[in-house]
Structure 1
Amino acid sequence: MNTIHQQEMEQLRVLFRQEAIDRAGDRIRILEVFLDTEEHVTCAELIALLNKKDYDFEPDFVRETLKLLACYGFVQENKFELEESTYEHRHLGYHHDHLICTRCQKIVEFEDDDLEALQLQIASQYGFHMLQHKMEIYGLCSDCINKREPLVSIASAREGEWVQIKEFLGGSGIQNRLASLGIRVGDEVELLTNSGKGPLVLAHNCSRLAVGRGIAKKIMIIPGGKEKGQTPGLRLSRLKEGQKATIVRVGGTSAFRRRLMEMGFLKGTEIQIEKYAPLQDPMELILKGYHISLRVCEASQIVVKKV
């Protein structure tokens, strides 16, 4: 056990004596096993680790001890968008953020000094005194992406993911039904909700569409921007007033892409955000010296790179 962990064990002993906590010795043993792992663990996973050390504590006692350790600041409980809470070490003066894979539930810790400084700067700009913060980035880890088949059904995509429709399975009836909703091969859509049962809700052409799970399984997709070495990139709708960018690609329906190409939205073209309307929609752009208005949902279909 390293020096930091030894110090924390001693601090906990002192606190337990001061507070007259019952079964203090058993709770210290639980903390010791917990500190031996560097992973985020659930209560059930910690119980399994304790069993490997030949400890046979009641599950309710382990759960209560974790809550107590969190209360005293030795354990950090994380309620990510996962099935169960996870617990990690909480060391004084140390902060990190998290990447969470929504498929395999892997949790990756990261630190970025520039990001921390930027968050303080943003808080200061708004006259806000920041006490604490947390950043949780949800997505797919590299292992899960590499395991994916080249084509998958949209029913297996994750919430928040941009995907491109490549083909429809089934006969003309399915194609006609989807065409009546305005969904065609080549379109890019954002998956808003996918609970694993019931309909999926897609953002498409500035509208929300509900698609039954049976039909969703017949819509074959690739992750948006993954074709021909493309990268997902930054959406034009995320830029602020005055910022400039170059166009990487235009998504959306084929009709939408044609309309924007005719307006001059071509790959490599520089574009500037002039201003947003009072309610933030629409947004005014400068493209090749022309002033153009776009709805924010339309701008979200345009991938750009800041300059």
Structure 2
Amino acid sequence: MSKNILEIKNLKAYYKVLKGEVKAVDDISLNIRKGEILGLAGESGCGKSTLASTLISRKPPLHYISGDVRLLGKNIMGMNQAEFQKMRLRNISLIPQYALDAFSPTKKIKTLIRDLVQEHGISTGRKFFDKVEERLELVNLTPSVLNRYSIELSGGMKQRVIMVVSTILDPELIIADEITSALDVSSQRFVATMLANLRDKGIIGSAIFITHDLSILYQIAERLMIMYAGHFTELGPTDEIVNKARHPYTRALIASLPQVGIQYRDKKLSGIKGTPPYLLNIGEGCRFRYRCPYAVEQCEKTPVREKVAEGHYVSCWRWKELGSDHNG
């Protein structure tokens, strides 16, 4: 049996609009191993959340174009809605990007949870809510939360409630989509660590943690994958990516992060000049070439995915020339 929970090969998912196709996820390949947390990072608009939507819902105008996606060995792209609905919450689940908007101000949390899970044909008797209360305590919330309205909860508390709901059936794979973006720094750290704790306790099997913030991923992810403008750029063990990144875009992302113990007057942070390309009907070539200081004529062709070291892959024509010494 495969050691992978999820296997994605050459996945393409585009937004079909009146003027053509927005190539938001364009030829992405990725495996998620059993028991791992994989971090997926990149700027806003790079395709991270679109990848999550492709795996979970694929609502128009987003359309699956091609590629193979297997969850627990099953081809989920070939399933109809009823077939896939049976896997949601049980085998694959999503903690959404806009979780804080999932609450109705007129419903108590208990009613909200009951309504959500009953849509999946799940009984919500006393035994179910005993489990809910146990999970609430795991994320430092008291059972009294169930009898409160969402307006009575802080943003961090709401996010933790959604984490409990999304993981209540112990899914093999959870996709956490920008779940820390609306939280303060201390809440961000708690929520990220809580996801790792749920994995360690066997409540969830594996996780894809999507964020633009590499510093959060460095705390909890075993591997990192970087996306840019719908394309794969780099994938590898977290320490290797942070310390020996080979793609110019990955390096630029890391250079934009503050480092512990280094003050601004000693080393200024460097932003990435320019803006990501418009993905409507975009053609061939490395999509970072318009902002890359190392771009050459060869970059007009789409780079191939190459192996740098064990488990470390990059899509850049010049990665061998650039070397790995970039953090000194």
Indicate whether the TM-score tops 0.5: no
Structure with the greater relative contact order (CA < 8 A, sep ≥ 6): 1 or 2? 2
TM-score using structure 2 length:
0.28
* Higher Rg of the two aligned structures: 1
